[in-house]
């Protein structure tokens, strides 16, 4: 009788463990899917935004101030993030761009005297831009976008390390 009770308890624990693992994997899959849906909604909100008329001043590593509209940014991949953003996430995004001449970085909350460090590390042009009209969380979540000939945002995208294939397709 004790053996039968022991076997029943063992079977119950095993079945419960398997059930919990399935539930967890199902939830994490849905979680990533819901993140992608939220990202898509955020991206759609910013496509077509006229960014070159934004009066925000951006600062280059030499300390000079510029307006976004004054820079030749057509066909450039612009990476936007804050110094407080996830470093592995930023590295994933920047390292995905093989031609660094196509890459420009708009970083938030960085002292101008630190911009040269980012330029050397990323091997691209870096500007300090503390506020942009297309920011949604102060740059904590890194994102990429392009600007068309009319100065409008196009190809706004939030790359995720968990899905590198999607990012490679974007590039």
Whether residue 22 lies inside any domain: the answer is no
Whether residue 86 lies inside any domain: the answer is yes
CA 77/CA 67 separation, integer angstroms: 17
Q: Answer for the pair 75, 148: CB distance below 8 angstroms, yes or no.
A: no
Our count of domains for the chain comes to 1
Tokens 């968990």, residue?
A: 162
**pLDDT score of 53 more than 80:** no
Whether residue 20 lies inside any domain: the answer is no
For residue 1, the model assigns a pLDDT of 58
141 contacts: CB under 8 Å, gap ≥ 6: 81, 85, 89, 158
pLDDT digits (tens, 9 = 90+) for 133-142: 777 666 678 9
Domain range for 53 is 48-170
CA 96/CA 171 separation, integer angstroms: 8
Whether residue 68 lies inside any domain: the answer is yes
**Among candidates 104, 106, 126, which has minimal Cα distance to 115?**
126
pLDDT digits (tens, 9 = 90+) for 13-34: 444 444 444 434 444 456 767 7
The token pair that represents 165 in the structure block:
């294939």
Whether residue 126 lies inside any domain: the answer is yes
Whether residue 71 lies inside any domain: the answer is yes
Beta bridge partners of residue 107, listed in sequence order: 81, 128
CA 108/CA 118 separation, integer angstroms: 12
- Report the chain's mean pLDDT, rounded to a whole number: 78
Considering the entire predicted model, what is its pTM? 0.74
103 contacts: CB under 8 Å, gap ≥ 6: 76, 77, 79, 94, 97, 122, 124, 125
Whether residue 6 lies inside any domain: the answer is no
Q: What is the CATH number of the domain that holds 144?
A: 3.40.30.10
The token pair that represents 145 in the structure block:
């976008």
Whether residue 21 lies inside any domain: the answer is no
* Percent of residues, the chain, with pLDDT higher than 90: 22
């Amino acid at each position: 009788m004790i053996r039968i009770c022991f076997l029943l308890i063992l079977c119950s624990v095993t079945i419960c463990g398997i059930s919990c693992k399935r539930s967890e994997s199902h939830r994490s899959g849905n979680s990533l899917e819901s993140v992608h849906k939220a990202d898509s909604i955020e991206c759609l909100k910013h496509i077509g935004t006229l960014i070159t008329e934004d009066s925000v001043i951006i600062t280059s590593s030499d300390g000079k101030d510029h307006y976004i509209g004054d820079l030749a940014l057509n066909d450039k991949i612009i990476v936007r993030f804050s110094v407080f953003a996830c470093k592995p996430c930023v590295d994933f995004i920047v390292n995905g761009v093989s031609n660094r001449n196509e890459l420009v970085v708009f970083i938030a909350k960085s002292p101008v005297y630190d911009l040269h460090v980012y330029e050397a590390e990323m091997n691209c042009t870096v500007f300090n831009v503390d506020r942009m009209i297309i920011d949604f969380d102060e740059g904590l979540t890194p994102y990429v976008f392009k600007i068309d000939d009319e100065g409008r945002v196009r190809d706004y995208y939030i790359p995720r390390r968990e899905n590198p294939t999607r990012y490679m397709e974007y590039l």
